[in-house]
Amino acid sequence: MDEIPNLSLRDGEKSMNGHLEGKDIMGFEALNRRAVAVVVDPIQSVKGKVVIDAFRLINPNTVMLGQEPRQTTSNLGQLNKPSCQALIHGLKRNYYSLAVNFRMNGLEEKMLLNLHKKKWTDGLTMRQFDAHSKTNEQTLQKHVSSLASRMLHFLSGSLGGYRWLWLSVEVNRGQSSKQFNSRPA
């Protein structure tokens, strides 16, 4: 049986040989008919570009009977057909690739970019408490001001009778209170 793409690390003792074998996938598919092998390229992912793919084996018996191999997963969407070059070299004959779509949020992108530093521990270092506390306080003040301005806009638009809005927030180093003058509608 040919190897499923050589993008991933294999679990178990031989974790550094960098491939999944068809026997492993056949075992998983025997346990669960809807099993899918998901492969992530760790080298490209550390560089900030996540390369991920999903695969399923094609049972040779279904091909000989002329049945559609994708019926088990109910994935009847677009099939990524192998290139002529891949078929010449014997790749993608015994498995088919499934389309994988994903999105990363800002924190995930930042985490991936931190992994590319000289030492992997550089992304895990903590800042001094005073500097971190000051940043938190400034962020909180910014959010409070934003919230207060949105509340004023809401109150002046829908409840025009209110003239004053007091907003008091307790912060790490004491108490700050702000007075906002709202205009009647």
* 37 burial level (CB within 10 Å; 0-12, 13-18, 19+): buried
Q: What is the pLDDT along the chain (185 residues), one digit of tens a residue?
A: 444 444 333 333 333 345 566 677 778 778 887 788 888 877 766 666 777 888 777 777 776 777 666 665 555 555 666 678 877 776 666 777 777 777 778 888 777 777 666 776 766 777 788 888 888 889 888 888 888 777 776 666 544 444 444 444 444 444 444 444 444 44
- Please give the backbone phi and psi of residue 140, each rounded to the nearest 5 degrees, phi first: -65, -45
Contact 80, 55 (CB under 8 A): no
pTM across the whole model: 0.41
Residue 179 and residue 164 in contact, taking contact as beta carbons nearer than 8 Å: yes
